[in-house]
Amino acid sequence: MKNKFSNKEVAELLRNVSAAYQVKGANLFQIRAYDSAADSIEHATSELKDLWEAGQLDQIPGVGAHIANYLDEYFTTGKVAHFETIFKEIPDDMFQFLKVPGVGPKTAYKLAEAGVVSIEDLKQRIRSGWLVKKGFGQKSLDNILRGIEEFNRKSDRILLPVAGEIAKRLIEYLKKHQDVVRADPLGSLRRKVATVGDIDISVSSKNPQGIVDYFTKFPEIDRVVEAGERTATIALRSGIHVDLMVQPPDRYGSLLQHFTGSKLHNIHIRKIAKEKGLSLSEYGIKKIEREGEQFSQDTLFKCETEEEFYKKLGMEYIPPELREDQGEIEAAIRHKLPALIESKDIKGDLQSHSTWSDGHSSIAEMAKAAADLGEEYIALTDHSYPSVDFDQRLKEIEQFNYSQDRIRVISGLEVNINADASLQVPDNVLAKHEIILVSIHTSFRQDREEMTKRIIKALENPHVDIFAHPTGRLLLEREGIDADWEQIFKVAARFGKFIEINAYPNRLDLPDTLIREAKRFGVRFSIGTDSHQIAHLGLLEYGVAIARRGWVTSKEVINTLPYSELEDILNKK
């Protein structure tokens, strides 16, 4: 197989090295180094190979000099001699099983040793009872079966921020062409669904052939899959496919609306159109022909913009994030859609990490980068590892704030809610900080009742402000916790606690459906990037996107407030 050196491939290679080390019982530090490099590469929004070509491998945090050297060898020669030696002692077949959620290196090794050759084969051999006979426990095999189902479901999804950043670069590129009037993403990407299936882009132009030609010369391209007169598909070096569709400007609005979906939204819209004697298509709106009536081109209302499209149907414009047939159509008819929050409303970031815990940059570096993005403040909320010298850290924050006036660093901590509902650090430590986030990082599988009590007890602590990445889901990896959200939201509203909308690429947590639920109880939100490196700070917009999908207005988000007002809220606890 030809190496494309995509981030996914490189991360997988490093994970395989880590797995091989684990099977061989290497030391924990070696193993962690590979895992953390792989994590970092998976969440990078630029291609590693491009950074390597530009001599900027050191921009990816977590990739130390040691691993950087191996990557250099890998990009130069296509393999790494040292890795080959390690892999030689391990059955090749084991690595594919690592892709199944819940299967760790040791199990994967045992399966390969037992003679299982593929994931499909694994499924067969569990079902036929063959593996039980080989000494595997039924309970763990049941878990593996569930893992295989999950694997099959998720394998072709892309995280919204990853797809979003690629689309942004592509659209920026397209807009440089003089004949491009507009360019937009389509489908689930435009609606900002947390994971998207593929990247589709539409362009409004009178020069389709010119645009198609230009599109196939996008710098990140691996190959052209197909190119027609007004459509094309390219494969990027990341392995992701992008479809392009070019339409004339006079009916661009109809096209955009049609291909943005969702399916349910469009079905409902079509029904309403029909009641008005209209039929809808990607080409426009026309009167339904009655018997004996001649259809003429003139009756087609083409819609240059989506605003015209919705207006023609008696509705106000519906933002793409809301188009899920969750009441937005009814609201649009009554002209009662909420004024959704926008990225520009956000004044600062309310979750970030520095080298004081597991981040890759110092407090000053993070703050300066946030200031460069125009933020008025940033909460540095390092994990409250008991080994941290909290007073020293607070002093560093104070000194930084004193030394400059471009940005205000808010002193904060992200504190673990232990399995027994106690917090990781005592109240006197919490009291010294301006903002306290609590979150779950262990014992995710408690039953609903115990989990709910655990969270509520934490929220009742007067020092606590925010419940961070509430469900604990890791997109494409791990389901969230089971909890009684209604109870939690009630308590949050009663005690004036805020619920986080976490913008980290594989979290996007609270999910949009729960955001709407929380709103019903009057809960307010905070949006945080959970940045562990400077490059993540710019991903705030994806938190905003999920908030918009949850119908959130700027008034419902505390970090739309200037620091002076936010300070009041935080002091009120």
Q: By the criterion CB under 5 A, which residues form the site for Zn ion?
A: 439
Q: Which is nearer to Zn ion, 468 or 534 (CB)?
A: 468
Nearer to Zn ion by C-beta: 48 or 475? 475
Using the minimum distance from each CB to Zn ion, give the nearer residue, 164 or 472: 472
CB of 504 to Zn ion, least distance (A): 8
DSSP string, 480-518: -----HHHHHHHHHHHT-EEEEE--TTT-BS-HHHHHHH
Phi/psi of residue 144, nearest 5 degrees: -65, -40
Q: In whole angstroms, how far apart are CA 468 and each of 208, 345, 427, 472, 476?
A: 47, 21, 18, 9, 19
**Separation between Cα atoms, residue 99 and residue 148, nearest integer Å:** 9
Q: Using CA atoms, how far apart are residues 469 and 454, in angstroms rounded to an integer?
A: 15
Whole-number minimum distance, CB 439 to Zn ion, in Å? Answer: 5
CB 306 within 8 A of CB 253: yes
The DSSP annotation for 3-58 comes to ----HHHHHHHHHHHHHHHHHHT--HHHHHHHHHHHHHHHT-SS-HHHHHHTT-GG
d(CA 505, CA 43): 7
Beta strands in 147-220 (DSSP E): 158-159, 182-185, 195-196, 199-204
Question: Token pair of 44, please?
Answer: 């990078």
| Beta carbon of residue 442, minimum distance to Zn ion (angstroms, whole number) | 11
Residues 470 and 510: beta-carbon distance below 8 Å:
yes
List for the chain the helix, strand, coil content (%; round to 5): 50, 15, 35
Q: How far is the CB of 386 from Zn ion (least distance, A)?
A: 16
Residue nearest to Zn ion (CB): 439
What is the smallest separation between the CB atom of 343 and Zn ion, expressed in angstroms? 23
Least CB distance to Zn ion at residue 384 (A): 11
d(CA 185, CA 243): 10
Q: Smallest gap, in angstroms, from Cβ of residue 387 to Zn ion?
A: 17
Nearer to Zn ion, 6 or 502 (CB): 502
Which of residues 49 and 507 has its CB atom nearest to Zn ion in the complex?
507
Alpha carbon distance 445, 161 (integer Å): 27
Q: From the CB of 178, what's the least distance to Zn ion, in Å?
A: 46
Question: What whole-number distance in Å separates Cα of residue 75 and Cα of residue 51?
Answer: 11
- Distance (Å, whole) CA 531 – CA 517: 26
Torsion sign (Cα): 47, 53, 59, 63: positive
The residue type at 533: Q
Minimum CB separation of residue 495 from Zn ion in Å reads: 21
**Cβ proximity to Zn ion, 439 vs 452, nearer residue:** 439
Burial-class residue 328 by CB neighbours within 10 Å (0-12, 13-18, 19+): buried
Query: Least distance (Å) from Zn ion to the CB of residue 443?
Result: 14
CB of 452 to Zn ion, least distance (A): 19
Nearer to Zn ion, 120 or 358 (CB): 358
**Nearer Cβ to Zn ion, position 170 or 366?**
366
Instruction: Compare residues 76 and 442 and give the one whose CB is closer to Zn ion.
Output: 442
- Determine the 3-state secondary structure of 386 from DSSP: coil
